[in-house]
Amino acid sequence: MGTSGETFIGFVNLLFEQRYPVGLLENLKGAEWEKMAHYIEGVLPLSSVGDGKPGAGKPRELRFAVDGDAFVVCEVSEAAAARLGARLLGYTAGGGKLVPISSSGFKGAAVGLGSLKQRFGLGEAHTLVFETPLTYRTTLAYLDAKEWGVPQTRQRKYMLIWDADHFGAGVDAEGLWHRL
């Protein structure tokens, strides 16, 4: 993981620890925004999981520790954006209702994502859902500095992160951000 990835993980850890109602990230237009949003929101669409880049000492597959009747992320890979230590709650199909997953019947200390997919019949249409300390939502805005009076192009994206439970019912944080 590079410096940007380490900074991102540190930022998200602080966001969850301090329970901030709002956060803001800025990065290059081409950064892995979708993976960052999934990581923060505690979801992992299986369609977004790659094969992993081979490299010395780098895990190629997301792995889960069997902890009682639960699966807990114990090893992360660049191919799948999931928080280390996050408890897997279950999965959804096409944005539907959460289907809980239990580790009963699994033996051993750790289970790879491939084994979970096979055991539960999961594919690209499914999304894994993880427990998070807060229910954050995210949205992106694209800005180019030249459109704001700066005589050069600097293409950036900004991610607004907000605690969905902090604001009252009917508050459209995403809409307010985009109108800003």
Q: Give me the pLDDT at residue 52, please.
A: 53
Q: Give pLDDT, residue 160.
A: 93
In Å, the largest CA–CA distance within the chain is 62
CA atoms of 108 and 65, how far apart (whole Å) = 8
pLDDT reported for residue 56 = 46
Counting Cβ atoms within 10 Å, is residue 101 exposed (0-12), middle (13-18) or buried (19+)?
A: buried
Nearest to 129 by CA among 171, 98, 163, 172: 98
Positions in the chain whose pLDDT score sits under 50 = 56
- Residues 110-162: pLDDT tens digits? 899 999 999 999 999 999 999 999 999 999 988 877 777 888 777 788 899 99
Helices (H), ranges, 19-129: 33-41, 113-120
pTM for this prediction: 0.87
Predicted local distance difference test score (pLDDT) of residue 51: 62
* Adjacent-strand bridge partners of 128: 44, 91
